[in-house]
Amino acid sequence: PGSKGIAVRIISCYGDDLWKAQFDASAAAGCSESGSIDNGHYGNPGFLEGKQIYPIGGADADGEPSMQCSDGDEAFNEKGEDKLVTPVESSNNDATSHQHDEVQDSSASDLLGDVKVLSLDNTTNRIPVDDEELNVAEGGEGEISTEDHDALLLEAFYFSLNTTVKDKMLPIPVSTLYAGHIIPAVKDIGKHKLDMKKTKHRKIGVFLKEQASLDLISLSPSKDGKDTAAFLSKVNRADQQLRAAKKLLQNNPNFPGPKSSGEGKEKLKIANLLIVPQKIVVAMNLDRDMVSAANAKSDDRKGTGFLTGPECREILVTYLEHNDLFDPNDPGYVLIDGPLGDALWGQTKKQRQAAAQSLTKANERPTRLSRKLLQEKWSSKMESAYAIVAMPGSKILSLKRGQPPMILIEVEKRQGNKKFTTRIRGLEEYGIDGESFSNDVAKRFACATSAESNPEGRAALKKGHVECVLQGHLVNELQALLTGNAKFSSHGGAKDGGYFIPQEVIEVKLRKGVSKKKV
């Protein structure tokens, strides 16, 4: 694949045993009566003055044919005279013929090496050379007919219209429709390989015009008007044949069909979580099951201590209710008891020493506080955590303490000119292979790219991470590609990326001399 031209490997030469096998018995007899098979030597040492043929065995030092032959052949008779082998002699003598066939098979096998030796076609006395004949000779099913190619093309066309070609994508160039939708549909169907030239239409444009005449689709011309079928502009989703094909596809549980680019892929979301510090748990004697998220809705979070905001607030409310701390005179306020005050306003030993040295007042705790301010104080004392969630389905991919990792996009100006270089790192934190992403960007935006595992003069990377170096100012394009949000860039290459990274984890830095691009 990918190579061009025709490669030829010579497996036979003029006058050798394989060449002689093309003659049937009558032809060989006719040659014998004339005394020769051919008048020329054609560079074959087995010829002797163009009249007789020695078995293949090479030539001696003087350039004369060698008298040594393979097992089963004799080069001399009993009197020591030369004994030349001709096709008619080998056919007239059964024993000699049997021995000669063995020499033929051995010589041909040695000459062909690992190439399969094809037997003669008994009906035509020739070797099959056509690809279709070769498949039949080897027991294959052969090429499919023109009618089969037509049926496969129509099936793949219906398949692509029902799966990957969406109305929001229209109009779409016919070349993109064929290469990006119909051909992949043929592979998904899993049948024979489609050869457009072997259909009755021979060209995709002719086929689409036929479908347009049946009111299945609508086509629009190119700007110059020369190509009347340059774009697929509309699909008639109410067409009975198309709906029937879709129904068959939907009724097949084993193969629901491929998804369009971006459809069915997991969209990543960041869920901010909280963890109750152990010292607060001990100070307030909180319920261990509530603190460990034992009753969390997600099985992945149960018993981990990673709490959502409402779950964390419920722990505080439960404590207040259990200890009757709501102000009976004003339900909007809460009374602060000793454990609650120690947990939220208590100071560590180092903090008390620092306050004493600076002669500042100790952290005064209130005796009564509004519920709103208490909730804010409570949340500020919690440890931050996060979860990377795949949507739909709310599947948790990662649970970690701290803040979610950032994907850094940085643009710098090249020295000595007005061109720019864009660098991006941190993709691996969200399951994106850096090298594959670099290659994808190169194809989408037609720019030079590279992936560096140890960039010189830059901050060190984690093991297994790379920094993608891209040619040009690509901040807007990368944001659109990663998030799937077209508001960042209208560049066609940024569409249908399928990465779906949350915008809040993307950080952009513009170095000195780099201005913000307009959308």
The verdict on domain 268-385 having CATH code 1.10.8 is no
Given pLDDT bands bounded at 50, 70 and 90, which one contains residue 253?
A: low
Q: CATH number for the 407-510 domain, one of 3.30.160.100, 3.30.780.10, 1.10.260.40, 3.30.420.40?
A: 3.30.780.10
Q: DSSP character for 63?
A: S
* Residues contacting residue 19 through CB under 8 Å, at least 6 positions apart: 12, 13
Half-sphere exposure of 92 (CA within 13 A, CB side): 8
Given pLDDT bands bounded at 50, 70 and 90, which one contains residue 363?
A: low
User: What gap in Å lies between CA 56 and CA 15, rounded to an integer?
Assistant: 9
Q: What is the mean pLDDT of residues 93-102?
A: 46
Residue 494 Cα distances to 252, 262, 267, 480, 501, angstroms: 33, 12, 16, 6, 13
Reading phi first (left if > 0) and then psi (alpha if -120 to 50, else beta), residue 402 is in left
Lowest average pLDDT, out of 32-46, 144-158, 303-317, goes to 32-46
Instruction: Report which of 516, 432, 437, 444 is spatially closest to residue 473, judged by C-alpha positions.
Output: 516
Evaluate whether 426 touches 466 at the Cβ level (below 8 Å). no
Angle of CA points 274, 279, 281, to nearest 5°: 65
| pTM higher than 0.75 | no
Helix (H, G, I), strand (E, B) or coil at 99: helix
CATH 1.10.245 location in the chain: 268-385
Q: Calculate the average pLDDT of the chain.
A: 76
Cα 258 to chain centroid distance, Å, stands at: 13
For residue 119, pLDDT over 80 is answered with no
For residue 138, pLDDT over 70 is answered with no
Q: What is the mean pLDDT of residues 461-489?
A: 91
User: What gap in Å lies between CA 211 and CA 187, rounded to an integer?
Assistant: 22
CATH 1.10.10 location in the chain: 146-250
In which element (H, E) is residue 424 found?
strand 420-425
Q: Which residues pair with 423 in a beta bridge?
A: 410, 469
Q: What is the mean pLDDT of residues 207-212?
A: 91
Q: CATH number for the 146-250 domain, one of 2.50.20, 3.40.720, 1.10.287, 1.10.10?
A: 1.10.10
pLDDT in tens, 402-460: 999 999 999 998 877 778 999 999 999 898 999 999 999 999 999 999 999 988 888 89
